[in-house]
Amino acid sequence: MARIVMKFGGTSVADIARIRNVARHVKREVDAGHEVAVVVSAMAGKTNELVGWTREASPMHDAREYDAVVASGEQVTAGLLAITLQNMGVHARSWQGWQIPIKTDNAHGAARILDIDGAFLIKRFGEGQVAVIAGFQGIGPDNRISTLGRGGSDTSAVAIAAAVKADRCDIYTDVDGVYTTDPRIEPKARRLAKISFEEMLEMASLGAKVLQVRSVELAMVHRVRTFVRSSFDDPDAPGMGDLLNPPGTLICDEEEIVEQQVVTGIAYAKDEAQISLRRVGDRPGVAAGIFGPLAEANINVDMIVQNISEDGKYTDMTFTVPSGDVDKALAVLERLKASIGYDVVQSEAGMSKVSVIGIGMRSHAGVAATAFKALADRSINIRAITTSEIKISILIDGPYTELAVRTLHSVYGLDKQ
């Protein structure tokens, strides 16, 4: 007998027929004698609709009320799946975040899980009950419903798996695993049998939305054996209930990966914007003077490039922010014009960041040069570059995103044979 947490995303529970299919996946594991907890997302499109309504009600709104609205999508799915399971003869009960409780901090709209009462769920296992838990939500110190940021049900599932010391956390989605790049834009992408925690963390934070970044962090810290697999597979096909090697991609320690490639995957993030401050007086403290106030305004600054003028007196400071934050960032910079001391501020939206990821880069030279040449051969202009030990990120004009992803995917030999 094993203890398994199963998570189903929005497209997997998009309508009643799909919820029935999900229930068959759950029943398979229950019938095999395992202890099962299930985490569900809102039905596909529901969260977007709810977010849209909060904006329509008021563009500037109270984050606590945003959470009260958007957390409701998951409540519906949890109830519907519990009903469906009961109808199939499975002893199931739905639970919302506050009932367990899943305690979070007070950052409404992007809360972090602080604590989960694992004993509550273990008691349900003891009663032979399948707990169907609303993902994406918890309860804050203010005793109000909180949500975990978009894609947060992945994080609910991994955190619950850690809290109950589950043998496995299965993230069921609309693709059958983690691919070398988003299979929606590169049909030649290959499914990976395994990917290391570190690489998955980079892939997720650089745009691959198959897992929420925070869920990968938690899986890495708590060593949760996490699989990404398809909910659209026939629940009763051979091998689906394999305990140690279910179909899908395993996120694991790098030591578990035998054949390590230099490059594992390509990720992309659209809707980046570039902001440049021209002729900033170059003196100690100038970066702190710019990026401190931007951080205080909760603006996520990403790539930063600084060019010193020939006489060493001035610097151009260029950086990227999500397109949605440009106006807020420009307002902060305008307010600081006198104290920072710059000539002009320029901004351009519609950029994309494409990234090449692989732990093999640590020991291989020339990976970056290969990317630059491949993009140059396609006449794709590079606007900014950042690198770390295991990734290279390149800022380009948005319309070239797909071409750049496919070009890089092919130049590192990731295309399906």
Annotated binding site for substrate: 47, 74
SS3 167: coil
Distance CA(273)–CA(322), nearest Å, equals 6
**From candidates 3, 20, 93, 209, binder to ligand ADP by CB under 6 A:** 209
Q: What does 73 bind: ligand ASP, ligand ADP, Mg ion, none (CB cut-off 5 to 8 Å by kind)? A: ligand ASP
Question: Nearest approach, Cβ of 112 to ligand ASP (angstroms)?
Answer: 15
Distance CA(357)–CA(268), nearest Å, equals 11
Comparing C-alpha atoms, which of 44, 71, 39 is closest to residue 215? 39
At position 167, the amino acid (one-letter code) is: D
Beta-sheet strands, E only, within 120-203: 130-134, 137-139, 145-147, 168-173, 194-196
**From candidates 29, 35, 74, 182, binder to ligand ADP by CB under 6 A:** 182
**From candidates 4, 5, 10, 286, binder to ligand ASP by CB under 6 A:** 10
Q: What does 186 bind: ligand ASP, Mg ion, ligand ADP, none (CB cut-off 5 to 8 Å by kind)? A: none
Contacts with ligand ASP, 140-179, as mask; x by CB under 6 A: ----------xxxxx-------------------------
Q: Which residue has the tokens 């975040």?
A: 97
Residues 15-44, interacting with ligand ASP (CB under 6 A): 41-42
Contacts with ligand ASP, 95-134, as mask; x by CB under 6 A: ----------------------------------------
Structure tokens at 199: 């690489």
Question: Nearest approach, Cβ of 216 to ligand ADP (angstroms)?
Answer: 12
Edge-to-edge strand ranges of the sheet holding 130-134: 92-95, 130-134, 35-40, 3-8, 168-173, 226-230, 249-252, 194-196
**What are the backbone dihedrals phi and psi of residue 160, each rounded to the nearest 5 degrees, phi first?**
-65, -40
Minimum CB distance to Mg ion smaller for 151 or for 265:
151
Residues interacting with Mg ion, by CB under 5 A? Answer: 9, 151
Taking CB under 6 A as the binding criterion, the range among 63-71, 167-175, 280-288, 298-306 that sits at the site for ligand ADP is: 167-175
Taking CB under 6 A as the binding criterion, the range among 124-132, 208-216, 301-309, 365-373 that sits at the site for ligand ADP is: 208-216
Structure tokens at 43: 């039905």
Comparing C-alpha atoms, which of 168, 148, 149, 174 is closest to residue 229? 174
Minimum CB distance to Mg ion smaller for 9 or for 248:
9
Comparing C-alpha atoms, which of 228, 221, 24, 9 is closest to residue 135? 9
Distance CA(336)–CA(325), nearest Å, equals 17
C-alpha atoms less than 13 angstroms from C-alpha of 252 in its C-beta half-sphere: 17
**From candidates 97, 140, 151, 248, binder to ligand ADP by CB under 6 A:** 151
Question: Residue with CB nearest ligand ADP?
Answer: 9
Question: Nearest approach, Cβ of 148 to ligand ADP (angstroms)?
Answer: 13
Question: Nearest approach, Cβ of 31 to ligand ADP (angstroms)?
Answer: 24
Q: Tell me the binding residues for ATP.
A: 7-10, 173-174, 179, 184, 209-210
**From candidates 36, 54, 73, 361, binder to ligand ASP by CB under 6 A:** 73
The region, left, alpha or beta by phi > 0 then psi within -120 to 50, assigned to residue 266 is beta
Residue 50: CB atoms within 10 A of its CB come to 16
Q: Cα–Cα distances in Å, from 148 out to 97, 133, 166, 255?
A: 11, 14, 21, 31
Q: What does 136 bind: ligand ADP, Mg ion, ligand ASP, none (CB cut-off 5 to 8 Å by kind)? A: ligand ASP
Structure tokens at 261: 């490639």
Number of residues that bind ligand ASP (CB under 6 A): 13
Beta-sheet strands, E only, within 257-390: 265-281, 304-308, 314-322, 345-357, 384-388
**From candidates 5, 9, 215, 411, binder to ligand ADP by CB under 6 A:** 9
SS3 221: helix
Taking CB under 6 A as the binding criterion, the range among 76-84, 112-120, 204-212, 219-227 that sits at the site for ligand ADP is: 204-212
Residues at the contact surface with ligand ADP, assessed by CB under 6 A:
9-12, 41, 151, 173-175, 178-179, 181-184, 203, 208-210, 265
